[in-house]
Amino acid sequence: GAVVSQHPSRVICKSGTSVKIECRSLDFQATTMFWYRQFPKKSLMLMATSNEGSKATYEQGVEKDKFLINHASLTLSTLTVTSAHPEDSSFYICSAREGWAGGYGYTFGSGTRLTVV
């Protein structure tokens, strides 16, 4: 089945630094990538959607200058948390879809636990 590899699984960084999270689709071409954030005991909140070769579309309330998304190839998308602060500590999860429209499955990465100290 489809596999999405997400790295790192855990990262601890100092306040003010930047962190990059990578998601790779291993056996399919991810036309669309989704980035979610999940706080403890809360649901997944969609942060942004990116189509290969296009600028990401951010959900309302998500700072695009803080959460930089790059989807330069059909197999790789990255999320960079810039100038991270303790309130950015969360579980970040990517999801990839092979097709452009509905009817295709969504494959999730294993998630990245970010702790900002």
Partner 1 sequence: QKEVEQNSGPLSVPEGAIASLNCTYSDRGSQSFFWYRQYSGKSPELIMFIYSNGDKEDGRFTAQLNKASQYVSLLIRDSQPSDSATYLCAPQLNSGGSNYKLTFGKGTLLTVNP
Name which of 42 and 55 has its Cβ closer to partner 1: 42
| Shortest distance, position 61 Cβ to partner 1, whole Å | 12
Does residue 57 bind partner 1 (CB under 8 A)?
Answer: yes
108 lies in the binding site for partner 1 (CB under 8 A):
yes
DSSP the chain: ---EEEE-SEEEE-TT--EEEEEEESSS--SEEEEEEE-TTS--EEEEEEETTSPPEEPTT--TTTEEEEEEETTEEEEEE-S--GGG-EEEEEEEESSSSTTS-EEE---EEEEE-
Q: What does the binding site for partner 1 look like in residue numbers (CB under 8 A)?
A: 6, 34, 42-46, 49, 57, 91, 93, 95, 97, 100-103, 105-111, 113
